[in-house]
C-alpha cells in the first residue's frame, strides 16, 4: 500500500502536554477504526508548530477523509516515492 507523509499545522504543537496528545491520538484512532483496513497510521514527528505523520493508504483522498473525520488538519499530503537510509550509500 502507498505511504504518505502528512504535514499538519498545529500552532504550539511542541508545547502540548502528553494528555493533549493522548486526546488528539484518540480522535485519530477512532476515525481509523471506522476506515480500516484502508488506512494505517505508522507514526508521527512533532516539531515546533507542525506535526509530520506517516500513513499507509490507497490514495490521498483516503488521507483527507481521515483528517476530516478526526478533525485534524492535513495541510500538505505527499506520496513517498523512495526511501533512503545509510544502506543506500553502500
Would you say residue 16 lies in a domain?
yes
Would you say residue 67 lies in a domain?
yes
Would you say residue 33 lies in a domain?
yes
Per-residue confidence band for 79, with pLDDT thresholds at 50, 70 and 90: very high
CATH number at residue 65: 3.30.70.3090
pLDDT per residue as tens digits for the range 32-65: 999 989 999 999 999 999 999 999 999 999 999 9
Would you say residue 74 lies in a domain?
yes
Would you say residue 21 lies in a domain?
yes
Would you say residue 86 lies in a domain?
no
- The interaxial angle of helices 18-33 and 60-70, nearest 10 deg, is 120
Would you say residue 90 lies in a domain?
no
Would you say residue 89 lies in a domain?
no
Q: 27 is in which domain, residue-wise?
A: 3-81
Question: How many structural domains does the chain have?
Answer: 1
30, three cell numbers:
477512532
Mean pLDDT of 23-35: 96
Q: What is the largest CA-CA distance in the chain?
A: 43
pTM of the model: 0.92
Looking at residue 58, its pLDDT comes to: 97
| Arithmetic mean of pLDDT over the chain | 96
Amino acid at each position: 500500500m502507498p505511504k504518505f507523509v502528512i504535514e499538519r499545522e498545529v500552532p504550539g504543537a511542541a508545547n502540548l502536554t502528553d494528555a493533549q496528545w493522548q486526546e488528539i491520538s484518540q480522535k485519530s484512532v477512532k476515525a481509523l477504526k471506522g476506515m480500516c483496513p484502508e488506512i494505517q497510521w505508522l507514526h508521527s514527528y512533532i516539531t515546533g508548530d507542525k506535526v509530520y505523520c506517516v500513513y499507509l493508504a490507497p490514495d490521498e483522498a483516503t488521507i483527507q477523509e481521515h483528517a476530516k473525520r478526526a478533525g485534524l488538519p492535513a495541510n500538505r499530503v505527499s506520496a513517498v516515492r523512495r526511501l533512503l537510509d545509510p544502506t543506500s550509500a553502500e
